[in-house]
Amino acid sequence: MANIDMSKIIKPWKLDAHTTYIFTNAKLIDPIEERVAENVTIKTSGGKILSIDTTESATPSTTDGEITIDLKGKHVCPGLIDCHVHIAVVPGEASLSAYRDMTERISLIRQPWVLKPMLDRGFTSVRDCGGATLAMKEAVEEGVCLGP
């Protein structure tokens, strides 16, 4: 009898084992030191930074399953934080009165459309100041929808 991975049946949206990426030849913006480091190698897996090598002679060693990407001098900066967002304030209504009458269900369905562009613009953390639900937070954490 085959061994069935029940976690894939229970939560089919969960990603498989994370791919490791090695970004080479990056220009890393360091806002604390107020400088840009040249020829940096950054290793990530599962959306987390594993290592940053700022030595000029960094030659990444790769293993099977790792993907190396030459950034050719492109800039990399830390994720941005937006401390005041309203995720539940979604587009789709032509007037304030129509927005006021929008059901919570419609707002919830549209919220991933608000979250993904935030991530695309470099925001890795946000603080919602009212309106977002625990369900949406958990959906982002579990990978059901993409967002910061």
Lowest mean pLDDT across 1-5, 45-49, 79-83: 1-5
Flag whether 12 is in a domain: no
Which CATH number is 44's domain given? 2.30.40.10
If asked whether residues 92 and 65 sit together in one domain, one would say no
Flag whether 53 is in a domain: yes
Flag whether 7 is in a domain: no
Q: Identify the residue with better confidence: 62 or 92.
A: 92
- The pLDDT tens digits of the residues spanning 69-102 come to 999 999 999 899 999 999 998 999 898 898 889 9
If asked whether residues 131 and 84 sit together in one domain, one would say yes
Model-level pTM? 0.72
Flag whether 6 is in a domain: no
Domain closes at, from 76, 95, 119: 76
If asked whether residues 45 and 24 sit together in one domain, one would say yes
For residue 115, the enclosing domain spans 80-142
Whether 124 and 80 have beta carbons less than 8 Å apart is answered as yes
Structural domains in the chain (count)? 2
Flag whether 11 is in a domain: no
If asked whether residues 33 and 72 sit together in one domain, one would say yes
Domain closes at, from 53, 76, 99: 76
pLDDT band for position 28 (50/70/90)? very high
CA distance 78 to 84: 19
| Residue keyed to tokens 């993907």 | 67
If asked whether residues 65 and 86 sit together in one domain, one would say no
Flag whether 133 is in a domain: yes
If asked whether residues 84 and 135 sit together in one domain, one would say yes
- The pLDDT tens digits of the residues spanning 94-142 come to 988 988 899 999 999 999 999 999 999 999 999 999 888 999 999 998 8
